[in-house]
Amino acid sequence: MKRVVIIGAGEIGSAIGRLLRGARVEFFDAQPGKVRGQRPLAKSVPSAEVVFFCIHSRFARQALFSAAPYLKRRTVVVSVSKGIEFQTRFTMDQLFTHLLGARQPFAMLCGPMLAEELDLKLPGGAVIGTKSDAAYRTLVQLLRGTSLKLERSKDVHGVALAGVLKNIYAIGLGVSSALKLGSNFSGWYIQASAAEMAGIIGALGGKPQTAYGPAGLGDFITTGLSPYSQNQQMGQDLVRRGTCAMTSEGCVSLPSLVKLLGARAKSFPILTAIRRTLEHHTDAKKIFIALAHGRA
């Protein structure tokens, strides 16, 4: 049985831990009292063969600093976190590689895998974004027999970007749902968003086709249509209340993504519509009705 440490005992971390029946799983969470009998990372990480980071991207650097001194050279590090660090504008693959070095076996695990459905043993999908054959083999072995259908991508940066973009564009599906714009609009919005995601991934150094895989289109549809999704709920709240108190990954990542794109951001009308709604506080109904009629 492989020894696994999961940093972040929230919904997705807990669901992944329960999914791994053939492993010794130990949880760690920075929130005091959240994990019963929690051991310090200095005790748990040195013996771990795989360490999952299942935390909000805002806390990724702090968590890495805490765990990195105890990682073995061959320990596989997995980021389930999706986002862009505000200060550096690093995507999660860049942040992990920057702090751990290129020799540490590293993978992104992204795709349609809602925690609530994993707990119900419903099927899901994930892409293992890694350049490390050892990391890929380890994760396939660890996840064999679970409800996840697995794929591999060596476009790690593209996978990380897709994980960011699906959260941002899912907010728009929440808006369209609240406005009752209909299935025709949703169909158009999904295909047009996927095309924009591919363009953005290509512009920022990934492979455009990664946008159409599990980390991009697959997770975008799941996140945008599921009532479990915070990003989808955020879009609905923008219509119903005019504001939103939630801090979803999509909302947090949007300003950094726009800065990474620079002047190129204006080339993506749906991204611009979401930005005008979230950052400029323009009425969501006005913006998306215009988008639906081709006037955005």
Query: What's the CATH number for 2-154?
Result: 3.40.50.720
- Residues 6+ positions from 157 with CB-CB distance below 8 Å: 91, 93, 94, 204, 205, 206
Tell me what pLDDT residue 278 has: 81
pLDDT in the model for residue 246:
55
More confident residue, 204 or 225: 204
How many C-beta atoms surround the C-beta of residue 185 within 10 A? 18
- pLDDT, tens digit, 9 for 90 and up, residues 162-175: 999 999 999 999 88
The domain spans of the chain are 2-154, 157-292
Tens of pLDDT, residue by residue over 65-84, are 999 999 999 999 999 999 99
Rounded CA separation 219/212 (Å): 10
Q: In 3-state terms, the chain is what percent helix, strand and coil (to 5)?
A: 55, 15, 30
Instruction: Please determine, for residue 279, whether its predicted confidence score (pLDDT) is greater than 90.
Output: no
CATH match of 157-292 with 1.10.1040.10 = yes
Give mean pLDDT, residues 265-282. Answer: 88
State whether the Cα torsion 108-109-114-118 is positive or negative: negative
> DSSP label at 32?
T
